[in-house]
Amino acid sequence: MIEKRIFFHAILLFVLISLAVPNEPGAGMLKKTGLMIGYNSTRIRSKEISDYALPRAGYGIGLFAEWMDRSVFSLLGRLQYVQRGFVQEQIETDVDGSFIQRVRAKSQLDYFEVPFLLKIQPLKLPINPYFVAGPRFDFLIFRKNGKYEFSKITVESRVAENFDDFGVGFILGGGMTTAKILHTQLSFELNFNLDITNSFSKVGTMTVRKNAVDFWLKVAL
């Protein structure tokens, strides 16, 4: 319940600030706002469970706002919906132990994520490189168990049911921003995501964390 209140307060604050401050050069603290679409690859890390080391691909959409326009530093706030998950793999054999096939269960975990990032843009060029780093707050909103399709039977994985509804992570990344074209500015950004909290905090002593690589296309309006 506390995590949900934090989530909705973060959304409310994000929207109010974005709407209240004019998006014009020199107008208050707001530098720019915009939309983002992305593609990601997520991998689960765990010492106790070894059969889901394969990455799972997903998509994302979101909003962003940038404040505190300084010569080098600025602050970024985001609200993003991201499809994550994991892939488990098992080998099917016959009664004699001979190999039949590899079967995979693709489980889906969808999150609302709220990152707050420090942006460093050391140069002022027509195409500007920049770096970002900061915490990420994750709110699980949908989960779907993967299924193993064996030759004669379908078996559902129940691992996704053990993931916590709330988590904290860290983002480290960088990107390039183009010059304005018809009052629109594009950015291409690569993020490396690491979990800080354990996604299986309620399941004994198991430790499960997510690693993800996100590629974002951002359109400043």
- Tell me which CATH code domain 2-220 carries: 2.40.160.20
Q: Residue 8's pLDDT band (boundaries 50, 70, 90)?
A: low
C-alpha torsion 159→164→168→171, nearest 10: 30
Please, is 40 exposed, middle or buried when counting C-beta atoms within 10 Å of its C-beta (0-12, 13-18, 19+)?
buried
Write the pLDDT tens digit of every residue in 80-102.
999 999 998 889 988 888 888 99
Q: Calculate the average pLDDT of the chain.
A: 85
Residue 51 in this model has a pLDDT that exceeds 70:
no
pLDDT of residue 202: 76
Domain boundaries, the chain: 2-220
The predicted structure's pLDDT at residue 94: 87
Q: Which position has the token pair 């915490």?
A: 135
Model pTM score? 0.82
